[in-house]
Amino acid sequence: MNDRPTTTSHDTAARSPRAIRRSLTLRAAAHEFLRHPSPWMIATVFVATLATRVVIGDWQLTDGLVPLVILAAFPVIEWMIHVTVLHWRPRHLGPVTLDSELARKHREHHVDPRDIPLIFIPPKSLLLTIIALIAIALLAFPRTALGLTFLLTITTLGMLYEWTHYLIHTDYKPKHALYRAIWRNHRHHHYKNEHYWFTVTTSGTADRLLRTAPDPATTPTSPTARNLHAD
């Protein structure tokens, strides 16, 4: 299994891959992370939502319940998005091809998991997602304050997803057991078999629940892990 981690875009060509892997720190990884638009887009929504939420007030017990429900459901939601949206197989209705930007970019990401810009959510798709989430926050909840709590939770998890997914594909080596398990789970998806291990921010919680976390030792290496839908 090719389990080489990724370099940052400002690595110097003169350094060997082994030297790069040894030298990448969290600080250097964070510097590269902040050079891309999606973290800033998510952070902007988070700060604006937090400020508005504080001004509105109206704190109630349900403001603590919403984050708990979302946190409990997030691994399954992440799994479902990965399977149904990111691994969408293009479909044709006459001359029209149904294929989203997210699916196209994700296929490119599988071709080259070390290409850093492809690790992040595409800005155009992220903007549309943010607009949809704001609409849900304002229209789908009985209180505006509760909708803002929902949006705060989602943007926090969105930033966690972007950072975790990015870090897994960098040359930063896991130093703690929890992150090592998350790191290994997603690397199996890219370098072992794309039909399994769909969670990113957890170590296979939803995969175990939905039976997509087989034993890697007995799972065949897929010939299409780097070329989705080529079968």
Domain ranges of the chain: 40-179
pLDDT in tens, 22-77: 568 999 999 999 999 999 999 999 999 999 999 999 999 999 999 999 999 999 99
Looking at residue 230, its pLDDT comes to: 80
Grouping H, G, I as helix, E, B as strand and the rest as coil, residue 142 is coil
Residue pair 197/181 in contact by the 8 Å Cβ criterion? no
pLDDT in tens, 94-149: 999 999 999 999 999 999 999 999 999 999 999 999 999 999 999 999 999 999 99
* Structure-block tokens of residue 184: 């290994």
Residues in the chain: 231
Residue pair 154/49 in contact by the 8 Å Cβ criterion? no
Q: How far is Cα 137 from Cα 192, in angstroms, rounded to an integer?
A: 38
Looking at residue 23, its pLDDT comes to: 61
pLDDT at residue 92 greater than cutoff 50 = yes
* Helix or strand holding residue 39 (H, E): helix 37-56
Nearest to 120 by CA among 81, 88, 163: 163
Q: Virtual CA dihedral for 80, 82, 85, 89, nearest 10 degrees?
A: -110
- Give percent of the chain above pLDDT 90: 86
pLDDT at residue 12 greater than cutoff 50 = no
Nearest to 124 by CA among 207, 12, 38: 38
Looking at residue 18, its pLDDT comes to: 38
Maximum Cα–Cα distance for the chain, whole Å? Answer: 58
* Structure-block tokens of residue 173: 């080596």
pLDDT at residue 17 greater than cutoff 70 = no
The answer for residues whose C-beta is within 8 angstroms of residue 141's C-beta and 6 or more apart is 147, 150
End-to-end CA distance of the chain: 20
